[in-house]
Chains A and B, each alone.
Chain A
């Protein structure tokens, strides 16, 4: 594996609880979304990558260096943790500048970089306020500021949009995209799937400590195309439509989900989508909408995490 981050059979236990269970994945350059529900192992992976935890088995490397290690390469990595703990007695500016000093930057350079990072995350007006007075969204932003202030090559963002207001989410998402276009590699975790979907199509899906799928979102969709695929139809004559398409051999089931709604499960979505227009024309059917319930990432995740059920 030759990704920005490579994990090979990584296992991490917390006593009896498995945080990661043979996690294997390679994170390519650019933005990669790490997607999974709460408790899936996302934060454990980030803690391993940031050197807070050591894996019990397997190998984990970032930028070619072992994750359980220290040294200059850490200056090429930025980490924005999920937890909101900060040095509350410091001001936002002091916090970012001090951590830059800990990274070896001179005082003048640390001040310049801190000011720039804080401006980037939109906190300039609040930079001299104490962190204990920051809202949850502001805390997320100042964590992001300390994460990017030293201009790292690899940026690890653990649930970065948690607690950020809608306007802030748009701004931070834009910032992440901008960082990716300027040579930075980002790994962004989230359990809110549409957030990741808007950032990138490159994803790693994690469930119960294991990578259950990885790659381009469309490629992951291909993984499930051979399995039953859900399509929602809206028509004034659901029973008539059901009678006609029910004769197709790739249809698994048909469910009436509303007075004018059908949910069709097909084993061959390509065949279904190819045959449906012809059926509409020949049978003079009225179908108001066709919606693939599996098109969004949430559905893909539910499908894969559930073992294809």
Chain B
């Protein structure tokens, strides 16, 4: 492996390990369990098999994707730079021979990998719970589509929240406002406004891939390729922006002691 790739992998691995540790990851894992717990609660009322299947599937679009995934990625993504700037550990990377854009990409990959270890189970375990609770077996296309949608969400959210953590001390708050106001309210507006949200493209993807069930009912004005490319494009755009910002960013916190 060349020195360039060694550096990139080292930063990504450092970020991944740093993300998946301590009370924070336990809290996020507990949060990721919420959809599964809801499915358990629904199953305990002994609904019809098809109703249980629909509940588990529908939960993905209204809870797992826009809230659970968003919050997990927010916590992990924002921490990548913000926590390290505040704790002054970022200097151990920024004073090395690795380029700053490479640090941004490495942290992005590490943070994305950490998010996926929580988000993929959050997407798929509820389906398994539903089947164990008496729901009909899903066609393989359903969990596959949900998994891809979760990955797309994590790809885009990670890029955005990593960037927020780089540019703002209030990144977590801004991220929450974005997730719970913008992504929830703008899709309710008429016209083209919903296209300004990520969840629009993710739901479009679900509807084009799943022709039946509760996730097939969203409007599909875009092709599947379009709904995949937009989240990926967003991630790349924020990575490029983040690299530019970090290139010129002073990483030492302002201090009274000089």
Assign chain B's interface to a size class: 35 or more
10 CB contacts below 8 A, A to B, read A14-B255, A38-B257, A43-B257, A47-B252, A52-B91, A52-B252, A70-B98, A103-B98, A106-B1, A146-B92
Say if the beta carbon of A17 comes within 8 Å of chain B. yes
B2-42: contact bitstring with A at CB < 8 Å (1 yes, 0 no)? 01101101110110011001100000000000000000000
- Which of A43, A54, A77, A106 is in CB contact (< 8 Å) with B95? A77
- Nearest B residue to A106 via CB reads B6
B250 and A102: CB pair below 8 A?
Answer: no
In chain B, residues 243-258, which have Cβ atoms closer than 8 Å to a Cβ of chain A? 248, 250-252, 254-258
A79-B95, A89-B22 known; A14-B251 Cβ under 8 A: no
A104 and B6: CB pair below 8 A?
Answer: yes
A102 and B99: CB pair below 8 A?
Answer: no
A85 and B257: CB pair below 8 A?
Answer: no
In chain A, residues 40-58, which have Cβ atoms closer than 8 Å to a Cβ of chain B? 40-41, 43-44, 47, 50-54
12 additional contacts (CB under 8 A) given A73-B97, A103-B98: A14-B254, A43-B258, A52-B91, A54-B250, A70-B100, A75-B96, A77-B95, A79-B91, A79-B95, A81-B91, A101-B7, A101-B10
In chain A, residues 64-87, which have Cβ atoms closer than 8 Å to a Cβ of chain B? 70-75, 77, 79, 81, 83, 85-87
- Nearest A residue to B101 via CB reads A70
A105 and B100: CB pair below 8 A?
Answer: no
The distance from the CB of A99 to the nearest CB of chain B, in whole angstroms, is: 6
- Nearest B residue to A89 via CB reads B21
Determine the chain A residues whose CB is within 8 A of the CB of B216 once the complex forms: none
B257 and A104: CB pair below 8 A?
Answer: no
CA of A67 to CA of B220 in the docked complex: distance in angstroms? 53
- Which of A71, A75, A85, A99 is in CB contact (< 8 Å) with B88? A85
A103-B7, A103-B98 known; A39-B18 Cβ under 8 A: no
Determine the chain A residues whose CB is within 8 A of the CB of B248 once the complex forms: 54
A-B pairs with lowest CB-CB distance, top 10:
A104-B3, A101-B10, A52-B252, A19-B258, A75-B97, A74-B97, A50-B95, A85-B88, A102-B10, A47-B252
A105 and B6: CB pair below 8 A?
Answer: yes
The distance from the CB of B169 to the nearest CB of chain A, in whole angstroms, is: 15
Chain A interface residue count, CB cutoff 8 Å, equals 42
- Which of B10, B87, B98, B257 is in CB contact (< 8 Å) with A39? B257
CA of A74 to CA of B95 in the docked complex: distance in angstroms? 7
Say if the beta carbon of B93 comes within 8 Å of chain A. yes
Say if the beta carbon of B50 comes within 8 Å of chain A. no
CA of A71 to CA of B98 in the docked complex: distance in angstroms? 6
- Nearest B residue to A77 via CB reads B95
CA of A71 to CA of B93 in the docked complex: distance in angstroms? 12
A85 and B95: CB pair below 8 A?
Answer: no
- A: residues with CB less than 8 A from B are 14-15, 17-20, 38-41, 43-44, 47, 50-54, 70-75, 77, 79, 81, 83, 85-87, 89, 98-99, 101-106, 146, 209
- Which of B1, B11, B258 is in CB contact (< 8 Å) with A102? B11
- Nearest A residue to B6 via CB reads A104
Say if the beta carbon of B94 comes within 8 Å of chain A. yes
CA of A85 to CA of B89 in the docked complex: distance in angstroms? 6
- Which of B89, B96, B100, B251 is in CB contact (< 8 Å) with A103? B96
Determine the chain B residues whose CB is within 8 A of the CB of A54 once the complex forms: 248, 250
Determine the chain A residues whose CB is within 8 A of the CB of B4 once the complex forms: 104
Determine the chain A residues whose CB is within 8 A of the CB of B94 once the complex forms: 50-52
- Nearest B residue to A95 via CB reads B92
B104-140: contact bitstring with A at CB < 8 Å (1 yes, 0 no)? 0000000000000000000000000000000000000
A102 and B95: CB pair below 8 A?
Answer: no
A98 and B14: CB pair below 8 A?
Answer: yes
Determine the chain A residues whose CB is within 8 A of the CB of B251 once the complex forms: 52
A81-B88, A86-B89 known; A71-B99 Cβ under 8 A: yes
B257 and A102: CB pair below 8 A?
Answer: no
A99 and B252: CB pair below 8 A?
Answer: no
The distance from the CB of B68 to the nearest CB of chain A, in whole angstroms, is: 25
Determine the chain B residues whose CB is within 8 A of the CB of A77 once the complex forms: 95
- Nearest A residue to B100 via CB reads A70
A39-B258, A87-B18, A87-B89 known; A99-B97 Cβ under 8 A: no
Determine the chain B residues whose CB is within 8 A of the CB of A98 once the complex forms: 10, 13-14
CA of A81 to CA of B251 in the docked complex: distance in angstroms? 13
The distance from the CB of B30 to the nearest CB of chain A, in whole angstroms, is: 20
Point out which of B4, B98, B256 has the most chain A C-beta atoms below 10 A from its C-beta: B98
Determine the chain A residues whose CB is within 8 A of the CB of B10 once the complex forms: 98, 101-102
Determine the chain A residues whose CB is within 8 A of the CB of B256 once the complex forms: 14, 17
The distance from the CB of A117 to the nearest CB of chain B, in whole angstroms, is: 14
The distance from the CB of B245 to the nearest CB of chain A, in whole angstroms, is: 14
CA of A81 to CA of B99 in the docked complex: distance in angstroms? 20
Determine the chain A residues whose CB is within 8 A of the CB of B91 once the complex forms: 50, 52, 79, 81
